[in-house]
Structures are given as structure tokens and as C-alpha cells.
């Protein structure tokens, strides 16, 4: 597909003030030795009439400027990348595939260009599935680089106020993280339809992922920022899921 796409999100969507242009190219081909490959490249440029995406900072006025929710107008967001996947039957009942994606999402405010909150450059996934009768068991492992996170800073301003600000201009990417998801599924035949009952355990490896950065400091310490120490906030969230799907 190529061409202008209607926008359905954002404050200006109903008035047609937001607009997007996207293009995508996909290719699926056999690779020999039982391998099947697919490749996709994509590009999307989005113009937002209003962007409320940056809060708790005013990097135009420095760390000691006025803080609060900022509104920017006529913001351009550009996303582009490639995805590649290799799939192969590993046996009569076992299938596996490996995928890799490389992408970039940037936000242009007119006076500064920043990586988007969803900018995740590298993602590598590996999946294996084993089917036995009406049962299907699967495991997926994923390794990905971190998205840019605002890094909290401490500044002692001229008016004597100590400011704690999350500045997106000086964002940091957390370390590479990985996880393993597990899934078991059973299929039942019901009057020509299929009922699938499944159970998933996401993050079965109990891996921690950095979600934000916080600041720890002693307000009574002398000097500018001598007491500042940035600390990552991590989340440990193994997520069990039980569900059903009816295929007519």
C-alpha cells in the first residue's frame, strides 16, 4: 500500500487536521532446504496538529524553566524499518521460526528532533511449536533493546528551589532485556466449528525490565548536583492468561 491514510487518533482527527502517509513492501519466498523466508520494509510519516506527548519538563527554558504538561503543534513523527523471518518444519509435528526487526521512530518538534517513546531499534524472536493430536504447545523467546526513557535530573535553581525534572532530550536507553513466553492450547470440534481453550504464561523466566528512571538525592547536601543518583525502576510481571476462541 502507498498513499495518504485517514487518521483516527489525536485531537485533530475529527477535523482532519492530522494526516499520515505510509508505504509497505512485503516478500515471501522459499529458501530451499525446507526453509521459508519473508521480508518486509515499511515507512510511515505522521503529522500531528497537536502533540501532548511531553510532560513534566520544559527543556526550551532549561531545567529551571516552567514545568507542566507541554503542548506542541505541527509535530512530525517518522517510523521506518525492516522485518525478516525464517520458518521451517523441524519434524512431523514441530515447527520453528526466527524473526528479526530493525526499526526507528523519531519525533520532530521543529526546534529539536527526539527518538519517540516507542523507538525500539532491535528485536529478535524465536518460536517453537509442537502439535500432538488436539494439543498444541509453544514457547517464544524474545530479546530486545530498550526504548528511550527520560532520565531524571536534579538542578538547584537561582531562586533556591531544587528541581527534579525528567528531561526527554537527555533520555537513556535501558539495557537489553529478554523473556520467555509459554503457551498450551487444546482444540475441540463442535458441530463443524472449533473451540480453542488456551493457557499462557508470559514472562515465564521472571525477567525484570526497566520501565523508568528515578532520582535519589539528599536535599541537604552542599554543591550543585553532588548528591544526585539516578536509579532504574524495574517491573517483574509474570502474566498468566486463560482464554477461549471460537472459530466458526
pLDDT digits (tens, 9 = 90+) for 174-231: 889 999 999 999 999 888 899 999 999 999 999 998 888 887 766 666 555 556 677 8
Give the integer Cα–Cα distance in Å for 175 and 144.
Answer: 9
Percent of the chain past pLDDT 70, that is, above it, reads: 73
Give the integer Cα–Cα distance in Å for 147 and 229.
Answer: 21
The whole-number pLDDT of residue 12 equals: 47
The whole-number pLDDT of residue 64 equals: 60
In the predicted model, is pLDDT for residue 85 greater than 90? yes
> Which of 114, 70, 213, 235 minimizes the C-alpha distance to 154?
213
> Which of 231, 228, 195, 199 minimizes the C-alpha distance to 213?
231
In the predicted model, what is the mean pLDDT of the chain?
80
CA 177: distance to chain centroid? 12
Three-state helix/strand/coil letters over 152-200? EEEEECCCCCEEEEEEEEEEECCCCEEEEEEEEEEEEEECCEEEEEEEE
Residues 126-141 have pLDDT tens digits of 999 999 999 999 999 9
The whole-number pLDDT of residue 162 equals: 61
Amino acid at each position: 500500500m502507498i498513499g495518504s491514510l485517514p487518521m483516527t487518533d489525536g485531537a485533530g482527527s475529527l477535523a482532519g487536521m492530522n494526516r499520515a502517509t505510509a508505504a509497505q513492501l512485503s516478500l515471501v519466498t522459499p529458501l530451499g532446504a525446507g526453509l521459508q523466508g519473508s521480508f518486509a520494509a515499511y515507512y510511515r510519516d505522521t503529522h500531528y496538529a497537536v502533540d501532548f506527548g511531553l510532560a513534566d519538563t520544559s527543556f526550551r527554558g532549561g531545567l529551571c524553566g516552567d514545568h507542566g504538561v507541554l503542548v506542541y503543534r505541527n509535530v512530525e513523527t517518522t517510523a521506518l524499518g525492516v522485518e525478516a523471518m525464517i520458518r521451517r518444519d523441524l519434524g512431523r509435528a514441530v515447527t520453528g521460526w526466527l524473526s528479526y526487526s530493525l526499526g526507528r521512530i523519531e519525533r520532530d518538534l521543529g526546534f529539536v528532533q527526539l527518538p519517540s517513546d516507542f523507538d525500539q531499534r532491535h528485536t529478535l524472536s524465536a518460536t517453537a511449536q509442537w502439535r500432538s493430536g488436539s494439543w498444541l504447545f509453544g514457547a517464544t523467546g524474545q530479546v530486545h533493546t530498550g526504548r528511550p526513557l527520560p532520565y531524571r535530573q536534579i538542578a538547584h535553581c537561582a531562586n533556591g528551589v531544587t528541581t527534579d525534572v525528567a528531561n526527554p532530550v537527555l533520555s537513556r536507553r535501558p539495557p537489553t532485556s529478554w523473556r520467555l513466553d509459554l503457551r498450551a492450547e487444546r482444540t475441540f470440534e463442535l458441530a463443524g466449528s472449533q473451540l480453542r481453550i488456551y493457557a499462557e504464561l508470559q514472562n515465564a523466566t521472571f525477567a525484570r525490565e526497566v520501565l523508568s528512571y528515578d532520582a535519589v538525592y539528599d536535599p541537604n547536601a552542599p554543591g550543585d548536583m553532588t548528591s544526585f543518583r539516578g536509579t532504574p525502576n524495574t517491573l517483574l510481571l509474570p502474566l498468566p492468561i486463560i482464554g477461549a476462541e471460537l472459530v466458526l
